[in-house]
Amino acid sequence: MGREPAGTKARRSKDDPGYFPSSDEDFAMFPKLVLISISFLAIVCAQQAGTNTAETHPTMSWQKCTTGGGCTDAGSGSVVLDANWRWVHNVGGFTNCYTGNTWDSSLCPDDKTCAANCALDGADYSSTYGITTSGNALTLKFVTPNSSGKNIGSRVYLLASDSQYQMFKLLNQEFTFDVDVSNLGCGLNGALYFSEMDADGGMAKFPTNKAGAKYGTGYCDSQCPRDIKFIAGEANAEGWQPSPNDINAGTGNYGSCCNEMDVWEANNNAAAYTPHPCTAQGLQRCSGTACGGTDNRYGSICDPDGCDFNSYRMGDTSFFGQGMTVDTSSKFTVVTQFITDDGTASGTLSEIRRIYVQNGQVIQNSKVNIPGMDSSMDSITSDFCSAQKTAFGDRDSFGEKGGLANMGKAMANGMVLVMSIWDDHAANMLWLDSVYPTDGDATKPGIKRGTCATSSGVPADVESSVPNSSVTYSNIRFGDINSTFTATAKTGGSAATKSARGTVVKFGQCGGEGYTGPTACASGTSCTALNAHYSQCL
- With beta carbons less than 8 A apart as the criterion, state whether 398 and 306 touch: yes
Antiparallel, parallel or unpaired: β 470-480 and 63-66 = parallel
Give bridge partners of residue 327 from the DSSP assignment. Answer: 321
Sign of CA dihedral 421, 425, 428, 431: negative
Tell me how far the alpha carbon of residue 519 is from its chain's centroid. Answer: 34
Residues carrying an active site annotation: 260, 265
- Please spell the DSSP secondary structure of 116-139, one letter per residue: HHEEEPP--HHHHH-EEEETTEEE
Phi, psi of 308 (to 5 degrees): -100, 150
Phi, psi of 96 (to 5 degrees): -65, 130
Cα separations in angstroms, 31 against 8, 27, 36, 38: 39, 6, 9, 11
- With beta carbons less than 8 A apart as the criterion, state whether 237 and 108 touch: yes
Give bridge partners of residue 79 from the DSSP assignment. Answer: 158
Residue 242: how many other CB atoms lie within 10 Å:
14
- With beta carbons less than 8 A apart as the criterion, state whether 74 and 240 touch: no
- Residue 35 is given by DSSP the state H
- With beta carbons less than 8 A apart as the criterion, state whether 366 and 321 touch: no
Residue type, 422: W
Q: Which residues of 187-201 are buried (b: 16+ CB within 10 A; e: fewer)?
A: bbbbbbbbbbbbbbb
Cα separations in angstroms, 114 against 92, 94, 123, 343: 14, 15, 21, 48
